[in-house]
Amino acid sequence: RALSGVNQVKDDDWTRFLITGSTDGIGKHTAHLIAKLGATVLVHGRSPERVQLTQLEIQQQSGNANVHGYVADFASLEGVRQLSRDIHQNHSSLDVLINNAGVLETKRMESVDGYEMTFAVNVLSPFYLTSLLLDLLKKGNAPRLINVASISQACRIDFDDLQFQMNYGNGVPAYELSKLCNIMFTYMMAEKFQPCGMTVNTLDPGTVNTKMLLKSWGSIGVSVEEAGYEYNLATSSAYDNVTGKYFVYNQDAMSSHVSYDKKKQQKLWDILVKMTGAKFD
């Protein structure tokens, strides 16, 4: 559901950015930086209290009243649908979508829809949300889609065990698979959406001491305040006509070899469409 901001949403607001998972970590830091540009920023989280606090904090610190909060639980496909409905109700277009939300569950859990939780939140939700917001992105000004992946990505994909029914372990393999899937569907989206003028890219956001990193790998990265790769890819004119790329440290990089396999990209795409019911023009 939408949370009211200081000002009502205006149809003539400057560039609109939606950043999922932006009540903490890199997503929140990116939202702060973009708000300082004067853009309209849509922050998202699953906790109403945290969304409201983040919205007010960014408004106050950036001096930008056009920061709006949205609540949706990505452990549910209905939550994704509700987020789309709320955004459609308040906005006529969307210029940049950053699919940033992600989890790493150390114990296997299932979503409301019966899917392994990391796969549900990290793969199904951004894939589905993109399909639901595609009409708004098509109306945007030089629209950009950014799917946040990771340098910690799998090097193989087992289509018979995407849900990690066995050998879940500490959750890292499921996370790495989810990031490989993000990259694979990014490459397909880049091809599919190019005719409408949209750029689609993916990146490793950097080794940053977020709660997720600290929980699974320890303090091996830089502070959240030093994280700028998402912001750069979302706002720099250097990427105006760049699409279908994977970036590490702001540089075009190679992802896992399997991610370039067209047949496996298509197979994954078909599976995700079947799981979510997503429709792409």
Whether 6 is in a domain gets the answer no
What does the pLDDT read at residue 184? Answer: 98
Neighbours of 151 (CB within 10 A): 16
Residue 10 has pLDDT above 60, yes or no: no
Whether 3 is in a domain gets the answer no
* 131-153: pLDDT as tens digits: 999 999 999 999 999 999 999 99
What is the overall mean pLDDT for the chain? 90
What does the pLDDT read at residue 227? Answer: 57
DSSP 121: I
Range(s) of the domain holding residue 90? 16-276
Whether 255 is in a domain gets the answer yes
Whether 5 is in a domain gets the answer no
What does the pLDDT read at residue 6? Answer: 31
Whether 10 is in a domain gets the answer no
What does the pLDDT read at residue 11? Answer: 39
How many residues are given for the chain?
Answer: 281
Which tokens in the block code for residue 37? 């540009």
Query: From CA 88, how far away is CA 129, in angstroms rounded?
Result: 12
Query: From CA 67, how far away is CA 242, in angstroms rounded?
Result: 28
Query: From CA 127, how far away is CA 134, in angstroms rounded?
Result: 11
* 177-228: pLDDT as tens digits: 999 999 999 999 999 999 999 999 999 996 544 455 445 545 444 555 655 7
What does the pLDDT read at residue 162? Answer: 97
Collect contacts of 242-245 with beta carbons under 8 A, ≥24 apart.
242/199, 242/201, 243/190, 243/194, 243/198, 243/199, 243/200, 243/201, 244/186, 244/187, 244/190, 244/191, 244/194, 244/200, 244/201, 245/201, 245/202
Helices (H), the chain: 25-35, 48-62, 77-90, 117-119, 125-138, 172-193, 211-216, 229-235, 262-276
Specify the number of domains making up the chain: 1
* 68-122: pLDDT as tens digits: 999 999 999 999 999 999 999 999 999 999 999 999 999 999 999 999 999 999 9
Residue 12 has pLDDT above 70, yes or no: no
What does the pLDDT read at residue 220? Answer: 45
* 220-277: pLDDT as tens digits: 445 556 557 999 999 999 999 999 999 999 999 999 999 999 999 999 999 999 999 9
Whether 59 is in a domain gets the answer yes
Query: From CA 43, how far away is CA 110, in angstroms rounded?
Result: 25
Whether 4 is in a domain gets the answer no
Question: Which CATH number covers residue 194?
Answer: 3.40.50.720
Percent of the chain residues past pLDDT 90, beyond the cut: 84
What does the pLDDT read at residue 166? Answer: 87
Query: From CA 56, how far away is CA 13, in angstroms rounded?
Result: 18
pTM over 0.95: no
Whether 188 is in a domain gets the answer yes
